[in-house]
Amino acid sequence: MKIWIDGDAAPKLMKEVVYRCSDRLRLPVTVVANSWQQTPRGDRIKMVVVGDAFDAADDYIAEECTGGDLVVTADIPLAARIVASGGAVITPRGEELDAESIDERLAMRNFMEEMRSADLVSGGPPPYGDRDRQQFANTLDRVVTRLRR
């Protein structure tokens, strides 16, 4: 089992939770992003910089991730690709996405994209905080425990 982080928009607080989990359970983590990011030193955590082409990080993760791996991403189309290939997905805010929930999330994402393009909705998600980090940590522990069995 490996943990993949879609690193371009991943909150620092969330990544710190993953790094602690990696240390505690000796799990490999790969952060994939369009530009270099600082990661803790060690053999288990790897940083992969992909080109700046549209969806380059998503494509890399989808191609390299195998069934039984865990991907942390807020990107719903990437999450759908991972779920379809047998991987597990958690959003940075601690929501697990699976075969039962991904279609609904894709539909909601597409609807909101249409609303934004029509200037009917603006803004983004609220700032990432301690409550989000705690929810993420709880979900991460639960999913990692399940995947390691």
Q: For 60-72, what is each residue's pLDDT tens digit?
A: 999 999 999 999 9
Average pLDDT of the residues in 65-84 = 95
33-65 residues labelled b (16+ CB within 10 A) or e (exposed): beeebebeeeebbeeebbeeeeebbbbbbbeeb
Q: What is the pLDDT of residue 126?
A: 85
3-class DSSP assignment, residue 38: coil
Q: For 88-138, what is each residue's pLDDT tens digit?
A: 999 999 999 998 888 787 777 677 677 767 777 777 778 999 999 999 999
The CA–CA distances, whole Å, from 123 to 61, 95, 108, 120, 127 equal: 27, 21, 16, 11, 11
- In this prediction the pTM is 0.88
Average pLDDT of the residues in 22-47 = 96
Six-digit token string for 43: 């053999």
CATH for 3-148 is 3.40.50
Q: What is the pLDDT of residue 106?
A: 77
